[in-house]
Chains A and B, each alone.
Chain A
């Protein structure tokens, strides 16, 4: 149970292909950190470097205050759960779980105790003598988790552990992982996923990776409510945040922005005097849009609607090649299709971005 520190970590393949740069991250004991990012952003590579399966090109990785760059995986005090479970197909569930302990030459009593404890936590007791092929996907994933629990590691690493499960099982296993984390409050976990829901529900803090680096680190709601840049703003939340051009006309604790349609709206993001006249992108989440008769952030004709029952998503007409503006309205509004609608949002829901960066973090 430890803290983990990455300093200026960089990964380059074959001396030329740079995939990760400038990774600085402090993870403290007991946190569940989720790495998210688009495909190919290097989140799995980063996890594998922490595990020791990939070499760190430069920078240092510390676990518990010790630099472990050149320490083999088994001695780093980590355990990893793989996407495809990676169970040893020729071993029973019990042998799968005891493999590491036997290699570490633990006493039979210790091994039995550890396996029984893990089997109890994960409800695997009836399956201990089965081969992996006789288990369902969810059970296999539990065995993979059990295999890491028995080693009592300092850091648990999860590499997209739920992506091979079907939707219903994914939700159930996600809740199990959350409960597991709660039952082991001292253990540190790092969890890689591309699924936002997993990230939002499980994480103590989320690390968004993009463009070979860290885009933002923060609690799930911080990332949702106060994204640091346009990338995070659009990556977190579904459907993604609308970005509309505007110009700052009044600065202060509340900023007034003139939109393209001429109306003036306010944002809770504070600005300085010099910002007047700055061209910004105004970011509003579809679910924060409300219909209005007064000053609108956006007005346009509804191109089509998606009625999901509890909400209706409005797609506004957009110029060719531009993303359509979306609004999510509670209730059923099928009749809005083809109508002109004005939408606005509460000032605290309105983000301001300049050159891709949020004005809130200056």
Chain B
């Protein structure tokens, strides 16, 4: 049969089946089970109305149960048994085996890196785009363009970016835009400016910000000596200060690294094979997609801020940056948290991008792809199911928090 006809048939069967189910089941309820006539008419109507919601809920509950709830328990069972031993219960040995694998820890640490970078970057860019497009004439055009990647599937986006990162031999034209740009750097003054001075400036400002944040946390301790106590939780403050000191130390170290490093000018790079950095090249794909989502939600939230509070802040003497950070951002903090956690959930489940671009090679493995490898390639059902359970354990608290925040926002 022609595939188009098959599709049409599927639609007819599917939609017709739905309509038929709802119509016939309600008819059955009203005409046969609890008919609204005879001496029991009043009681029957009430009973039918008690049952009716369940008729409508049933298909969804059934499908969710079959495709969501049941697999959770089945996965849990699989993770505790061994298929090769006819499904014998083996306790936590699958987990032990998994924890002993360096590839699992690589996937977990990569996932953590994704978890920090992608939601932060996507939310930050989304907020920036929402604020900047708010008051300009072509803002809505810009918004549509930024939102458009949302319409592309992860695999599609991965393919697009694979082309961006593509490498050709040195004597051919580079079709990957990143290499095409890279080959423009030949080690002259321009290269020095873009590859040494600007990264160095970014690093210095980063170190400055971190040091300032650290100081904000430490200063109350010194002040409290003078004022006689009341700095709050001192160990936490000291911890933040130590962490920021460490970050400052790291950035100063990389500052020297930047100037010491000899860039391989003129050689096309295979970007996806450079360890550590290749994870970031993959993350860019997801950031590119999720920024549009964050922008749309945050832009709606920004519009919801009462204009008068902003005017009051202007009269109070706040400059545009202070209005943004002290008046606007705190008022939409709830929405920012919801956006952040929603993207976090997407990130924890990220699979397609890694699968399509690097397949976990060159130290880019993530948990979902690791699970896929184990389940469907290595045929280790126990270990694969164990990693699936780990992913679920990581997602659940964030999911619960997300739902809690979203409900709070709606009130």
Which residue numbers of A lie inside 8 Å of B, CB to CB?
51-53, 72-75, 78-80, 82-91, 99-100, 103-104, 147, 151
Instruction: State whether A73 and B309 are in contact (beta carbons under 8 Å apart), knowing that A90-B330, A90-B331 are contacts in the complex.
Output: no
Contacts of B306 in A (CB 8 A): 84, 86
Q: Is the interface of B mostly helix, strand, loop or mixed?
A: helix
In the complex, are the beta carbons of A74 and B311 less than 8 A apart?
no
Which one of B7-15, B104-112, B137-145, B313-321 is at the A interface?
B313-321
Contacts of A73 in B (CB 8 A): 314-315, 317
Instruction: State whether A103 and B322 are in contact (beta carbons under 8 Å apart), knowing that A84-B308, A86-B309, A90-B330 are contacts in the complex.
Output: yes
In the complex, are the beta carbons of B311 and A88 less than 8 A apart?
no
In the complex, are the beta carbons of A88 and B315 less than 8 A apart?
no
18 contacts between A and B (CB under 8 A): A52-B315, A74-B315, A75-B317, A79-B315, A82-B308, A82-B312, A83-B308, A84-B308, A86-B308, A86-B309, A87-B309, A90-B330, A90-B331, A91-B330, A99-B316, A99-B318, A99-B326, A151-B316
Q: Give the 4 A-B residue pairs with the shortest CB-CB distance, closest first.
A: A74-B317, A86-B308, A100-B316, A86-B312
Instruction: State whether A82 and B318 are in contact (beta carbons under 8 Å apart), knowing that A88-B327, A90-B330, A90-B331 are contacts in the complex.
Output: no
Question: What is the minimal beta-carbon distance from B231 to any residue of chain A, in angstroms?
Answer: 16
In the complex, are the beta carbons of A74 and B314 less than 8 A apart?
yes
Question: What is the minimal beta-carbon distance from A160 to any residue of chain B, in angstroms?
Answer: 12
Contacts of B308 in A (CB 8 A): 82-86
B333 contacts A by Cβ under 8 Å: yes
With both beta carbons as reference points, the residue of chain B lying nearest to A157 in the complex is identified as B315
Contacts of B313 in A (CB 8 A): 88, 99
Question: What is the minimal beta-carbon distance from B366 to any residue of chain A, in angstroms?
Answer: 36
One of A72, A88, A104 near B312 (C-beta < 8 A): A88
Contacts of A87 in B (CB 8 A): 309, 312
Question: What is the minimal beta-carbon distance from A329 to any residue of chain B, in angstroms?
Answer: 45
Q: Complex formed: what's the CA distance from A179 to B315 in Å?
A: 25
In the complex, are the beta carbons of B315 and A78 less than 8 A apart?
yes
Question: What is the minimal beta-carbon distance from A157 to any residue of chain B, in angstroms?
Answer: 8
Output the residue of B316, B326, B331, B333 with the most chain A CB within 10 A: B316
In the complex, are the beta carbons of A103 and B318 less than 8 A apart?
yes
Question: What is the minimal beta-carbon distance from B220 to any residue of chain A, in angstroms?
Answer: 13
Question: What is the minimal beta-carbon distance from A148 to any residue of chain B, in angstroms?
Answer: 9
Contacts of A80 in B (CB 8 A): 311-312, 315
Contacts of B331 in A (CB 8 A): 88-90
With both beta carbons as reference points, the residue of chain B lying nearest to A100 in the complex is identified as B316
Contacts of A88 in B (CB 8 A): 309, 312-313, 327, 330-331
In the complex, are the beta carbons of B317 and A103 less than 8 A apart?
yes
A interface footprint on B94-111 (CB within 8 Å = 1, 0 otherwise): 000000000000000000
Contacts of A72 in B (CB 8 A): 314, 317
Output the residue of B306, B308, B314, B315 with the most chain A CB within 10 A: B315
Q: Complex formed: what's the CA distance from A329 to B311 in Å?
A: 48
Q: Complex formed: what's the CA distance from A82 to B331 in Å?
A: 18
With both beta carbons as reference points, the residue of chain B lying nearest to A90 in the complex is identified as B330
In the complex, are the beta carbons of B327 and A53 less than 8 A apart?
no
Within 8 A of A (CB), among B166-211: none
Contacts of B312 in A (CB 8 A): 80, 82, 86-88, 147
Q: Complex formed: what's the CA distance from A220 to B317 in Å?
A: 34
In the complex, are the beta carbons of B311 and A86 less than 8 A apart?
yes
In the complex, are the beta carbons of A104 and B317 less than 8 A apart?
yes
A interface footprint on B282-316 (CB within 8 Å = 1, 0 otherwise): 00000000000000000000000010110111111
Contacts of A86 in B (CB 8 A): 306, 308-309, 311-312
Contacts of A84 in B (CB 8 A): 306, 308
One of B315, B317, B318, B330 near A53 (C-beta < 8 A): B315
Contacts of B315 in A (CB 8 A): 51-53, 73-74, 78-80
In the complex, are the beta carbons of A74 and B316 less than 8 A apart?
yes
Q: Complex formed: what's the CA distance from A151 to B306 in Å?
A: 23
With both beta carbons as reference points, the residue of chain B lying nearest to A95 in the complex is identified as B326
With both beta carbons as reference points, the residue of chain A lying nearest to B333 in the complex is identified as A90
Q: Complex formed: what's the CA distance from A90 to B156 in Å?
A: 42
Question: What is the minimal beta-carbon distance from A104 to any residue of chain B, in angstroms?
Answer: 6
Contacts of A104 in B (CB 8 A): 317
Contacts of A89 in B (CB 8 A): 309, 331
Question: What is the minimal beta-carbon distance from A349 to any residue of chain B, in angstroms?
Answer: 43
Q: Complex formed: what's the CA distance from A78 to B315 in Å?
A: 8
**A89-B309, A89-B331, A103-B322 known, 14 other contacts, Cβ within 8 Å:** A51-B315, A52-B315, A73-B317, A74-B314, A74-B315, A83-B308, A84-B306, A85-B308, A86-B306, A86-B308, A88-B327, A88-B331, A90-B333, A103-B317
Question: What is the minimal beta-carbon distance from B228 to any residue of chain A, in angstroms?
Answer: 15
Q: Complex formed: what's the CA distance from A147 to B316 in Å?
A: 9
Contacts of A78 in B (CB 8 A): 315
In the complex, are the beta carbons of B311 and A53 less than 8 A apart?
yes
Output the residue of B309, B312, B331, B333 with the most chain A CB within 10 A: B312
Within 8 A of A (CB), among B253-291: none
Q: Complex formed: what's the CA distance from A72 to B319 in Å?
A: 10
Within 8 A of A (CB), among B126-141: none
With both beta carbons as reference points, the residue of chain A lying nearest to B308 in the complex is identified as A86
